[in-house]
Chains A and B, each alone.
Chain A
Amino acid sequence: MARKQVKGISYAKYGYLFSIPFIVAFVIFSLYPTLYTATLGFTDCKGLGNNNWHFLSDPFENFKNVLSNNSFITSLKNTVAIWIMNFIPQITIALLLTAWFTSRSNEIKGKGFFKVVFYMPNIITAATVAILFNALFSYPVGPVNDILVSLGLRDAAYQFSVDKSASRIIVAFIQFWTWYGNTMIILISGVLGISPDIYEAAEIDGANGVQTFFKITIPNIKTVLLYNLVTSLVGGLNMYDIPKLYLNGGPDNATLTANVFIYNQAFSGSYMYNKAAAASMIMFVIISICSAILFWIMRDRDEAKIQKEIKAAKKAAKKGV
């Protein structure tokens, strides 16, 4: 109705005008670099400031090279392994805290305080956190070793930095430590969005806390859980700051993630831009698949519903005529 009052003037051009800055910035800083990266993946471009590069006679040489590179395969495996080791405890503890903090029968006091404290690690620079943990686990004298020895858990200090599994676990733990508060807050807000009527009905039916949680809460926050899973996965595939600065991918590539591999290929040693670009594109495909899933989950349900209703109404109107 409102739009029809000023018929005669088309406002469509302002739609285009107001999106120009976004489009220009997107094309220059995002689309072009993406295509450029893809192109470099097919060339022999290496070395600092090299502008004289050519396409390879076998265009997929770099891709084959990267996919058969043991370090890259290790880095992919590490990325996934570290992500799983961080995600399972993270979602479990976040769910447990969510159940407690939204419990209707047992009100926990100080929820606000706990939320602030649990979320805090998330806001601290990941680079700082990685180096801080490196210092905490340092050998022969470090805070963690100090605790272990003085509690009698170990006779002598342990050199964490040469133990492959310990290093992976510590990196996964740092990820867990920085993200569980964030996950918890998102899950709590999902639970608070559930209609209280459902819970009242369950209470009248005599369901206990555990039953209510598994039969009502979990099914109702499925979307939020899935959203969390996919954002965490995409973030996990991009892990860089923590493994890079904790032990620079070591010991013996145990904490080398895909992004650390790409960085090391391109920006250190022999500046293999072409191989790094090919590896980037492989990661791009993997992440695109993951974000396609996310897109599908987050699709605008209300709008799709309205569109359907409009269509149905139009059909009905046609039939009426």
Chain B
Amino acid sequence: MSVVKKDAGSRAFLISAYIFCGLLTVLSLIPFVIMIVNATRSTTQIQQHAISLIPGTNFMKNFAVLTSKTFNPWKGFINSLIISVGVTACTVYFSTMTAYAVVAYEWKLKKPFFTLIMCVLMIPATITSIGFYQFMYKIGMTNNFLAIILPAIASPPTVFFMRQYMIPSLPMEILQSARIDGAGEFRIFNQIVLPMMKPAMATQAIFAFVSSWNNLFLPSILLTKNDKYTMPIMVSLLTGDIYKTEYGAIYLGLFLTVLPLLVVYFLLSKYIIAGVALGGLKG
């Protein structure tokens, strides 16, 4: 009897769990579905029925309206790509190097240095943005991508992650034998340590790329010229008066900014989710 009861109980549990997860799935996906469908519908259609599951045929017309004004998805894509690739390369390479300096060598100021990294771990760039902007303005670095790319050389959270990963996985014996074979320290780092750190670097690369791609605050302060706008700045143009009533074009603009991220996500979701899980365990 009790066995039957338990079965009924767990079936009820499973059904309610699936219903709840199903609802959350709808909640997570529906805004994107509405966005994609409406991107293909005309503004009049949207004004009559804002929700529809049947795609329209106005995709090209919306695209023409969208690009006839300041919104330039291609330019935004290229600019964002340049910045994100630069930021990712700087973050991953130099953070691994800094972590290596902390893990592999014994030096006097190592402890205070690492404490410093831990202290500034959570200080967000937005808080220091006033001084940063004034400084960049003074040396003529506004509207220059390097002002956004170069700061990525010092990214404390990535250094912290790399150190955690490196401590158990870097065998000092291999470094010793490389030294005996006459390899220089810099070559050891580039040819032996970097390949061994590949999995951790890949994880951090994905996150550095996505967070740089999505960054709005600093780029919107520093990049004031139309032809330097990144994707998120392009998106913020959609709120202005220019597109006020062009609903189809707005949805299409949003869709174009989301598209590269959706592609990346569906190709790499397995690694991204594993990376999130790994990052949370650093506590």
Answer yes or no: are A and B bound together in one complex.
Answer: yes
Chain B residues whose CB sits within 8 angstroms of the CB of A96 once the complex forms: 20
Binds B, one of A22-30, A69-77, A80-88: A22-30
- Could you tell me if B283 and A297 are in contact, using CB atoms closer than 8 angstroms? yes
B28→A117 contact, CB < 8 A: yes
Q: B128-165: which residues lie under 8 A (CB-CB) from chain A?
A: 128-135, 137-138, 150-154, 159
CB of B216 within 8 Å of the partner chain: yes
Closest chain A CB from B208 CB (angstroms): 13
A166, CB-defined interface residue at 8 Å: no
Tell me the complex Cα distance, A186–B261, Å: 21
Residues of chain A whose beta carbon lies under 8 Å from any beta carbon of chain B: 2-3, 5-6, 11-19, 21-26, 28-30, 32-40, 45, 49, 51, 93, 96-97, 100, 105-106, 108, 110, 114-121, 123-129, 131-136, 138, 141-143, 145-147, 177, 181-182, 185-190, 193, 223-224, 226-228, 231, 234, 238, 240-241, 245, 248, 259, 262-263, 266-267, 273, 276-277, 280, 283-284, 287-288, 290-291, 294-295, 297-298
Contact of A6 with B100 at beta-carbon distance under 8 Å, contacts A14-B105, A105-B10 already known: no
B134 close to A273 (CB less than 8 A):
yes
Contact at B217–A35, with CB atoms within 8 Å? no
- Using CB atoms, name the residue of chain B closest to A41: B130
Given contacts A26-B154, A143-B34, contact A119 B276 (CB under 8 A): yes
Q: Please tell me the number of chain B residues within 8 Å of chain A, measured between CB atoms.
A: 103
**Which chain B residues (95-131) contact chain A, with CB distance < 8 Å?**
95, 97-98, 100-102, 104-110, 113, 118-131
Could you write out 26 A-B pairs with CB less than 8 Å apart?
A3-B106, A6-B180, A23-B154, A25-B154, A33-B129, A34-B128, A36-B132, A106-B14, A106-B17, A120-B265, A123-B264, A124-B214, A126-B232, A127-B216, A132-B254, A135-B250, A145-B50, A185-B277, A186-B280, A227-B282, A228-B280, A262-B129, A263-B221, A284-B127, A287-B123, A298-B282
The chain A residue with its CB closest to the CB of B275 is A185
